Structures are given as structure tokens and as C-alpha cells.
Amino acid sequence: MNIAIQCFATLSRFTPPDSASFAVSPGETAGQLAARLGIPPEDLKLVFVNGVHVELDAPLQDGDRVGLFPAIGGG
């Protein structure tokens, strides 16, 4: 199964080349995905799946759109 990934701000350097259709295994969670992308756990503050905030243990489904967000505070 495949998902779409968007990594924001400082996390964009972890965006995989095939981010529009990235293969994940059944049962893989948002946290496991972030680890596989090499994102340091302390840098990941918010995960959105299909426009809804989820916890790191949320399992991913085929076709999910995943957004990964670090802490941003600039003004």
C-alpha cells in the first residue's frame, strides 16, 4: 500500500523522492514511518493524516495523506 507524504519546514529534507506514492507495510504506524524517514523523534511535533491530527501509534492506511510538522514559532 502507498501513502503521500508532506514534510514541512526543517523536516522537508527528510522528504523521500517518491513522496507522492510512498510504500508502507500494512500496520505501519505514523511514528514508525517517521523513524524510517530518519526524522529525529524530538523534531517531530505534529502528525496529520488526511487533515486530522493523530498520535504516533496511529496505523496508516492505503491512500493516506500524511503531514509531518516540526515546532515553528517565527514571526
Partner 1 sequence: MPPLMEMDEHIRHLAYTEQLPGEEARLVLSVEAAQELARGLGRSKAKGLPLARVELSALELGIAPERYLRNFNTYSYAEQARLLSARLALIGLGGLGGNALEILARAGVGYIRAADGDEFQPSNLNRQPLCTRRSICGYKAAAAAARVALVNPAVEFDPVAVFLDEGLMARFLVGMELAVDALGGLKDRPALLRQAAAAGIPLVTAAVAGQAGYVATVLPGAKGPADFFGADTLAAENTLGTPAPAVATAAALMAAEALNILCGRKPRLAGAMLVFDLEGMSFERVSL
Q: Which residues bind partner 1 (CB under 8 A)?
A: 6, 8-12, 42, 45-46, 48, 51-53, 67, 69-75
C-alpha grid cell, residue 55: 498520535
When the beta carbons of 25 and 72 are compared against partner 1, the nearer one is 72
CA distance 8 to 15: 9
The DSSP element (H or E) to which 32 belongs, if any, is: helix 30-36
When the beta carbons of 18 and 25 are compared against partner 1, the nearer one is 18
Three-class SS state of 54: strand
Closest approach, Cβ 3 to partner 1, in A, equals: 15
Non-local CB neighbours of 50 within 8 Å, separated by 6+ positions = 64, 65
Closest approach, Cβ 73 to partner 1, in A, equals: 4
When the beta carbons of 6 and 29 are compared against partner 1, the nearer one is 6
